Amino acid sequence: MARSKVGKTVESLGDYLREQRVGAQLSLRQLAEQTGVSNPYLSQIERGLRRPSAEVLQQLAKALRISAEQLYVQAGILHPDEGHVRSVELAILADPVLTERQKQSLLDVYQSFRAVTENLVTPTLTEDVVRLAPEVDATTEGI
């Protein structure tokens, strides 16, 4: 049975969190106490059964003394390649007034707008050649 990309992301996030927790020499119970997140819920996150919210990731990052941004990348919320995009996404995730659902909706809309814009602004090489071909023919006729 093949796993979905989201399933792999959640599982790899759980593995990453477990590595960080073990590296910090914290038990699951100690991490739960420091974050205010229940022990069973943390266990489910580490086993890849649950996908934590941005707020839970922030709490985990603080307790583990690691970057929340890195956890967002591990969770598939942020894209590691695009720094300018990341700053917009981080601003959305850091807004204390928005609910988790609102944040995810804003991120989805933002990413869909970026995808559409990138497709419109970046034509393929073939499209450039076809578009420029009449100009090339017109300038070479007089030679």
Domain locations in the chain?
5-141
Question: How confident is the model over 109-134, as pLDDT tens digits?
Answer: 888 888 777 676 544 444 544 444 44
Whole-number Cα distances in Å, 40 to 24, 34, 111, 113: 19, 14, 32, 37
50 vs 142: CA distance, rounded Å: 68
In this prediction, residue 79 has a pLDDT band, given cuts at 50, 70 and 90, of confident
Q: What is the CA radius of gyration of the chain?
A: 22
3-state secondary structure of 87: helix
* Average pLDDT over the chain, rounded to an integer: 78
What's 37-67 look like in SS3? Answer: CCHHHHHHHHCCCCCCCHHHHHHHHHHHCCC
CATH superfamily of the 5-141 domain: lambda repressor-like DNA-binding domains (1.10.260.40)
H-type alpha helices, 50-124: 54-64, 68-74, 83-94, 100-121
140 vs 26: CA distance, rounded Å: 73
Its pTM surpasses 0.85: no
Inform me whether the pLDDT recorded for 35 exceeds 50: yes
Token pair 């580490």 in the structure block, residue: 46
41 vs 28: CA distance, rounded Å: 10
Residue with more model confidence, 108 or 139: 108
